[in-house]
Amino acid sequence: MTQDNALLNDVLLPVAGGGLLDRRLFLQRSLELGAGAGLLLTGMDASGAELQPWQKTPGAPFSHYGQPSPHEKEAIRWVSANTAAAGNGISWTPLHKLEGMITPNGLHFERHHHGVPQINPDRHRLNLHGLFRNPVSFSVDDLLRDPLVSRICVVECGGNSNAGWHEEPIQTPVGYFHGLASCSEWTGIPLSTLLDEAGLQPDARWLIAEGADAAGMNISIPVEKALDDTLVALYQNGERLRPENGYPLRLILPGWEAVLNVKWLHRLQAAREPVMARNETAKYTELQPSGKARQFTFIMDAKSLITQPSPGYRLHGPGLYQISGLAWSGRGKIRKVEVSADGGKSWAEAALQEPVLSKSFTRFRLPWRWDGSPLVLKSRAIDETGHQQPERAALVAERGRNGYFHYNAIVSWAVAPDGSLSHVYA
């Protein structure tokens, strides 16, 4: 018996009660590692699989802030900047590349009217003025000392999905059609706390919020919503807000069109009347078939879409698939999502993945066996208030052809025999 073998036998004998083994077992581990090194030389692991280069040498060092794998270069925001106006434009969340319900901060959609201000938090203040008994000015540090609360909710631009109003169905990955919506955990201070502290006067009906960007975007918020679930957010998915999403602080009005979620918030004026800013008169209003215009249409209605499979992907032949998608409603929780694989003739109830949260992305899934024939996939959401997503024809009949905002019709993907998908009005 060699000296090494004797050592191996020794260290496997218990050295004390309860199964304690000899501390020299670590030496045996290194003997095993020696054997492993032999495998390394043969270029195969114990299962006979070939060792990859990264299994043979130490990996990259630590990093202060992580980045996605370089192999995930397609999971990016799609930028659509307005070249006529500096800093004006949008970028879309790649919903077709994501799973689960939370949007990573680097992929939260963006809408800026005048670029992303680079704010020094030490020089930023939030001023409450107008119809308050004690007008007050907060520093960011003041606000960070207040008791914080968190909630998960969707931020969705009122103009999201508006390509649905086009005469012809837009052909683009689903995130670049419906991705002006993102879902995050927001942490901050209930606005009602700050309004209490400043002594909101009873005759105040509106709060006029203004951002510290060069556009000085302003908009009017009804006092009822401000006192209900509105948050002054400081954190987004656990870290401080990203500059593009409002650093150091922004408003979050769960379920309402995102234009009200004023970023870089620096002023709240309590008033009797709305300010009639551009974004509540020239924009975010729509002429109806009745001849009347919609205004102050704050709530984002129920919506759903299938993200897998979706246009840009190709099914690899007949067989078993999992349909996966997102549903949400600005009115509350999603009660039910139904999926059709025959263009709306029959519907099956999808499984909703927990947690199902109010005004948040809800992931739905349904197994599906594709037999290779052409068909149309659809999904429709019903929220806890009973609101159901309309068919496109019904939405157009109700709202007419001047629609630009609040498009929430059922979305249809046609599957071709070659497994490719396209957006159809069906």
Ligand X SMILES: Nc1nc2c(c(=O)[nH]1)N[C@H]1C(S)=C(S)[C@@H](COP(=O)(O)O)O[C@H]1N2
Is 381 within 8 Å of 334 (Cβ atoms)? yes
The token pair that represents 277 in the structure block: 């800013």
Could you say which of ligand X, Mo ion, none residue 101 binds, taking C-beta under 5 to 8 angstroms by partner kind?
none
What is the dihedral sign for C-alpha 287, 292, 295, 300? negative
Q: Which does 117 bind (CB under 5 to 8 A by kind): Mo ion, ligand X, none?
A: none
* Subset of 148-167 contacting ligand X (CB under 6 A): 155, 157
Our CB check for Mo ion shows the closer of 247 and 405 to be 405
By CB under 5 A, tell whether 262 contacts Mo ion.
no
Residue 320's beta-bridge partner residues?
369
CA of residue 340 relative to chain centroid, distance: 25
* 258 contributes a contact to ligand X by CB under 6 A: yes
Which of these segments, 6-14, 28-36, 120-128, 208-216, binds ligand X (CB under 6 A)? 208-216
110 contributes a contact to ligand X by CB under 6 A: yes
Contact in structure between 309 and 413 (CB atoms under 8 Å): yes
Residue 111 binds to Mo ion (criterion: CB under 5 A) = yes
Scored b (16 or more CB within 10 A) or e, 347-379 reads: beebebeeebbbbbbbbbbbebebeeeebbbbb
List, in sequence order, the alpha helices (H) in 64-157: 140-144
Instruction: Identify the residue among 97, 111, 151, 399 touching ligand X (CB under 6 A).
Output: 111
Shortest gap between Cβ of 104 and ligand X (angstroms)?
Answer: 13
If the CB atoms of residues 265 and 323 are measured against ligand X, the closer one turns out to be 265
Length of the chain equals: 426
Measure the CA–CA gap between 230 and 224, rounded to whole angstroms: 10
- Give min distance, CB of 208 to ligand X, in A: 13
Nearer to ligand X by Cβ, of 213 and 338: the residue is 213
Q: Determine contact, residues 140/264, Cβ cutoff 8 Å.
A: no
The nearer residue to Mo ion, 11 or 259, going by C-beta atoms, is 259
Q: Which residue lies nearer to Mo ion by CB, 183 or 198?
A: 183
Which one of 113, 225, 331, 380 is in contact with ligand X (CB under 6 A)?
Answer: 113
Instruction: Pick from 11, 143, 157, 212 the residue near Mo ion by CB under 5 A.
Output: 157
Q: How many residues bind ligand X (CB under 6 A)?
A: 20
| CB 375 to ligand X: min, Å | 35
> Distance (Å, rounded) from C-alpha 175 to C-alpha 180?
8
Q: List the single partner that 113 binds among ligand X, Mo ion, none, CB under 5 to 8 Å by kind.
A: ligand X
How far, in Å, CA of 84 to CA of 196, rounded?
43
Tokens coding 314: 């190709």
**131 is a contact residue toward Mo ion (CB under 5 A):** no
Least Å from the CB of residue 241 to Mo ion: 17
Binding span for ligand X by CB under 6 A among 19-27, 38-46, 111-119, 138-146: 111-119
Examine residue 355 and say whether the peptide bond preceding it is cis (omega within 30 degrees of 0): yes
Choosing from 126, 217, 231, 410, the residue that interacts with ligand X (CB under 6 A) is 217
Our finding on whether 335 is near Mo ion (CB under 5 A) is no
CA distance 413 to 426: 9
3 state SS of 291: coil
Task: Pick the piece of the chain touching Mo ion (CB under 5 A) from 55-63, 157-165, 193-201, 299-307.
Answer: 157-165
Q: Is 149 helix (H, G, I), strand (E, B) or coil?
A: strand
Segment lying near ligand X (by CB under 6 A), choices 32-40, 41-49, 73-81, 259-267:
259-267
**How far apart, in whole angstroms, are the C-alpha atoms of residue 389 and residue 337?**
10
- One of 221, 251, 259, 305 touching Mo ion (CB under 5 A): 259
| Rounded Cα gap, residues 77 and 91, in angstroms | 6
**Residues in 299-338 at the binding interface with ligand X, rule: CB under 6 A:** none
Nearest Cα neighbor of 360 from 182, 154, 157, 179 is 154
Q: Which residues bind Mo ion (CB under 5 A)?
A: 111, 157, 258-259
Q: Which residues bind ligand X (CB under 6 A)?
A: 108-113, 155, 157, 211, 213, 215, 217, 245-246, 258-259, 261-264
